[in-house]
Amino acid sequence: MEKLIDRFIKYVKIDSQSDPESNTTPSTEKQWNIARELVNDLKEIGMQDVEIDENGYVYATLPSNIDKEVPTIGFIAHYDTAPDYSAEHVNPQFFENYDGSDIVLNKEKGLVLSPDYFPELKKYIGQTIIHTDGNSLLGADDKAGVAEIMDAMDYLIQHPEIKHGKIRVGFNPDEEIGLGAHKFDVEKFGADWAYTMDGSTVGELEFENFNAAGAKVKIHGKSVHPGYAKNKMINSMLIAADFIKAFPANETPETTEGYEGFYHLHNMKGDVELTELDYIIRDHDRQKFEARKKFFQKVADDFNKKYGEGTVEVDIKDQYYNMREKIEPVMHVVDIVEESMQDLGIKPIIKAIRGGTDGAQLSFKGLPCPNVFAGGLNFHGPYEFVPVESMQKARDLIVKVAEKTAQKFGK
């Protein structure tokens, strides 16, 4: 596991945070640093057709080593990290042979990774835990996936006795801001199907995700001196408070699970004259998703009737859709992974993602792309960690999927 760990540590120490306010691709200049490092590493292990395009997308090929005609498969991971929390000066820590106790991340800040609060830790007793020092996120999302793909390709190159078809690898920027697949060149990639290595717990295999939309709301008021404001002032913040209350209190992220959808207010700012609200709208069911968007617009229309036309402006834009629609006609791409997991003694956990991945957008661009575990947990914050053994299992799974695809589809 030494190479795998070394790769992972090297990648997480490279700050590659994305920026939702940027209009460039990659959204941050610093993402180029890891992209170029990945190009060097791919060439060093012996991959072919290694290239990086003008948008920071990295592509490479592992040629087939059999005479039979086999479908070309791909493995994809994103190298950016979330803008939610600091990604500077990442300082990974190791807890070898984890004993089930509290892990003090940062004594000064009082940050403790405790199984009392994070009970999933107990699953990894006896394993090696890589965690943060409490001053940054770790970056296992998705540099664990990047390292696992890189290590799997290296392993296949070093073990030509494992027979496989042509394999394409893709590393992309800006997944964390919803743009990872936007400029991914599916035609150039040239795979029949692919897998994003971007899941969490060992065994996760996902081909369903939310239908997603973003809604930007502007609520206009009128500012008047408060001493003379009677019947004149219109306080946009108070209207915004009523607007927020118009949505079901039991349909928020903190009150839903499984296939239940929600409305999520994730940002707000305002004063008397203007209040801006940022929502995301989510549902696995396409009809319910469309109904949610219509309801959102109806709330705005009702407020305009009450307070005057133009008081509330709403801009709703679709972000991605449930990939199940594109995966179900080609379920063999899921079956191969499930069978490979079983061969490796991994219990498949097939469930819907309460979120989205690049795979969702890629599926709608013509590249069926389920999501597979990469091993990390507690993403996007100081409590993020990844068991080394989970990363190894993900690496082994990539190798097994490549081998099984050749066995099942070789002509």
Task: Please report the sign of the dihedral spanned by the C-alpha atoms of residue 141, residue 144, residue 148, residue 149.
Answer: positive
Token pair listed for 294 = 């219509």
DSSP string, 116-147: TT-GGGGGGTTSPEEE--SSS---HHHHHHHH
Which residues lie closer than 8 Å to 256 by C-beta, 6 or more apart? 250, 262
Q: CA–CA separation, 198 vs 357, rounded Å?
A: 8
Active-site entry in 175, 358, 384, 396? 175
Active-site entry in 15, 19, 41, 80? 80
How far, in whole angstroms, is CA 310 from its chain's centroid? 36
Q: CA–CA separation, 405 vs 410, rounded Å?
A: 8
Token pair listed for 17 = 């945070």
By DSSP bridging, strand 211-220 and strand 274-283 are antiparallel
DSSP bridge partners of 264: 280
Helix, strand or coil for residue 57? coil
Helix, strand or coil for residue 206? strand
Q: Where are the beta strands (DSSP E) in 293-346?
A: 312-320
Is the bond preceding residue 26 a cis peptide, omega within 30 degrees? yes
Q: CA–CA separation, 96 vs 123, rounded Å?
A: 14
Token pair listed for 221 = 């008021």
Token pair listed for 45 = 């292990």
Pick left, alpha or beta for residue 134 (phi over 0 → left; psi -120 to 50 → alpha; otherwise beta). left
Is the bond preceding residue 142 a cis peptide, omega within 30 degrees? yes
Helix, strand or coil for residue 276? strand
Is 175 assigned a catalytic role? Answer: yes
- Segment (H or E) for 194: strand 193-199
**Mind telling me the catalytic residues?**
80, 175
